[in-house]
């Protein structure tokens, strides 16, 4: 079977995890701090705060941005369900807006039109590894005095001009799930330029304790921590962070190979399906390779045909407002571009190490299926 993806992990990750286990300090500690510094330096942010997942990161980021009950958060419906779940976890209401069909990212013009007196935050998603139009969204946010929480779960390494995603918005959240560019098994990270927000995030992720475990461990004097607000356990472990540090060293190589394979698919599939595109000043990192079929109704048959040839596929991005958990909350909501993309898109295998021969097999099978 050609899988949809395969993480790039090996003996170095095994050795790094084993060293942490042997050290006796397994939960959040020095390795998490080192991993935060590495990601922070890579994206060019002021501060980075590791979490147990990107979903946890999004929830914390919204809380730190001051989002709470009664507030509205503008976000795309065309995303993984975690985007909107985080808004509900924060007690706020997602306000879904439509996408630009070419990039599958939130339409900045629709964002401005959706702002109301209750809007507390704008939450763009850098879908499938292509940055949203963060410059336009940032300008709208500044005009209205709103924070931007960027869901960059799939987009470590993506750029807007000369700047990297992670250095652009009030708060940016990344995922290290194995389907993402680099992995820690599960894990997330928030980057921000705001020192006060970073301090609050660090506190909130560990029950809002006034001092960390590591500080108490290293303290010569008795250290009685206080809990001044209700926080969460969203900690990353040092085992995960040690794996993440090895992964950061692999990042440039992974990104280069993903880009090569993505562009190669684009050439081989031109004219057969609609292929992913770069946007002005923004290069696609192909965290997932998503095509749009000419006829949405044929998608199940196409996916079945590829599966019979030993090739894994997935539906493309979901429309959150059409999922059972959300349908009842948004009766009658119509987002034509989102609904069309959700019905007609499909992910193809793409991962470093798949090789050109496997890619040729996928292309041949898709050509056959579309007959
Ligand atoms: C756009 C988006 N947001 C959030 C998430 C959630 O990430 P995690 O699995 O790390 O919680 C994902 C994961 O697939 C995602 O694609």
Scanning the chain, the segments in alpha helix (DSSP H) are 11-23, 30-43, 54-64, 82-89, 108-114, 134-144, 195-204, 213-218, 238-269, 299-308, 324-327, 336-344, 355-370
Other Cβ atoms closer than 10 A to 225: 15
- Mean local confidence (pLDDT), 182-204: 98
Q: Which residue has the higher pLDDT, 22 or 211?
A: 22
The residue from 47, 177, 179, 180 that is catalytic is: 180
Amino acid 222: pLDDT = 85
The model carries a pTM of: 0.98
Residue 31 among the catalytic residues: no
- Mean local confidence (pLDDT), 227-250: 97
- Mean local confidence (pLDDT), 86-102: 98
Q: Beta partners for 233?
A: 206
- DSSP code, position 104: -
Ligand 1 lining (C-beta closer than 6 Å): 53-55, 79-80, 82-83, 125, 151, 153-154, 175, 177, 188
Residue 282 has pLDDT above 90, yes or no: yes
Round to whole Å and give the CA distance between 208 and 331: 38
Distances (CA, A) of 371 to 133, 271, 330: 36, 13, 38
Residue 220 has pLDDT above 90, yes or no: no
pLDDT category at 104 given cuts 50, 70, 90 is very high
- Domains of the chain (ranges; CATH) run 11-248 (3.40.640.10), 251-370 (3.90.1150.10)
Q: Is 350 exposed, middle or buried (0-12, 13-18, 19+ CB in 10 A)?
A: buried
pLDDT category at 217 given cuts 50, 70, 90 is confident
Note the Cα 64 to chain centre separation in Å.
Answer: 18
Pocket test for ligand 1, best of 87, 153, 320 (most atoms within 8 A of CB): 153
Round to whole Å and give the CA distance between 72 and 357: 48
Angle at the Cα of 157 from the Cα atoms of 64 and 54, rounded to 5 degrees: 35
């Amino acid at each position: 079977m050609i899988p949809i993806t395969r993480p790039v992990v090996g003996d170095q990750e095994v050795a790094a995890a084993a060293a942490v286990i042997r050290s006796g300090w397994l939960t959040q500690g020095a390795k998490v701090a080192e991993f935060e510094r590495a990601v922070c330096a890579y994206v060019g942010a002021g501060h980075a705060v590791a979490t147990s997942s990107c979903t946890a990161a999004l929830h914390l980021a919204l809380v730190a941005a001051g989002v709470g009950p009664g507030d509205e958060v503008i976000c795309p419906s065309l995303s993984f369900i975690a985007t909107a779940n985080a808004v509900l976890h924060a007690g706020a209401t997602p306000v879904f807006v439509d996408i630009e069909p070419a990039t599958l990212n939130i339409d900045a013009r629709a964002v401005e039109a959706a702002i109301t007196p209750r809007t507390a935050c704008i939450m763009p998603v850098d879908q499938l590894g292509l940055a949203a139009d963060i410059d336009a969204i940032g300008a709208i946010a500044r005009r209205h005095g709103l924070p931007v929480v960027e869901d960059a779960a799939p987009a470590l390494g993506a750029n807007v001009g000369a700047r990297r995603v992670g250095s652009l918005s009030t708060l940016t959240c990344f995922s290290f799930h194995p389907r993402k560019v680099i992995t820690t098994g599960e894990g997330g990270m928030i980057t921000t330029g705001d020192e006060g927000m970073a301090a609050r995030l660090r506190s909130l992720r560990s029950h809002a304790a006034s001092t960390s475990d590591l500080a108490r461990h290293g303290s010569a004097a008795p250290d009685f921590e206080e809990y001044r607000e209700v926080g969460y356990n969203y900690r990353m472990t040092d085992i995960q962070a040690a794996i993440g540090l090895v992964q950061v060293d692999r990042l440039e190589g992974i990104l280069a190979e993903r880009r090569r394979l993505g562009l190669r698919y684009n050439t081989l599939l031109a004219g057969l399906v609609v292929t992913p595109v770069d946007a002005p000043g923004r290069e696609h990192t192909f965290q997932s390779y998503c095509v749009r079929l000419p006829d949405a109704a044929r998608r199940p048959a196409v996916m079945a045909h590829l599966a019979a040839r030993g090739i894994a596929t997935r539906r493309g991005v979901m429309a959150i407002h059409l999922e059972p958990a959300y349908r009842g909350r948004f009766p009658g909501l119509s987002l034509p571009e989102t609904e069309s993309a959700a019905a007609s898109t499909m992910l193809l295998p793409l991962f470093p190490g798949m090789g050109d021969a496997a890619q040729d097999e996928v292309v041949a099978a898709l050509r056959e299926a579309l007959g």
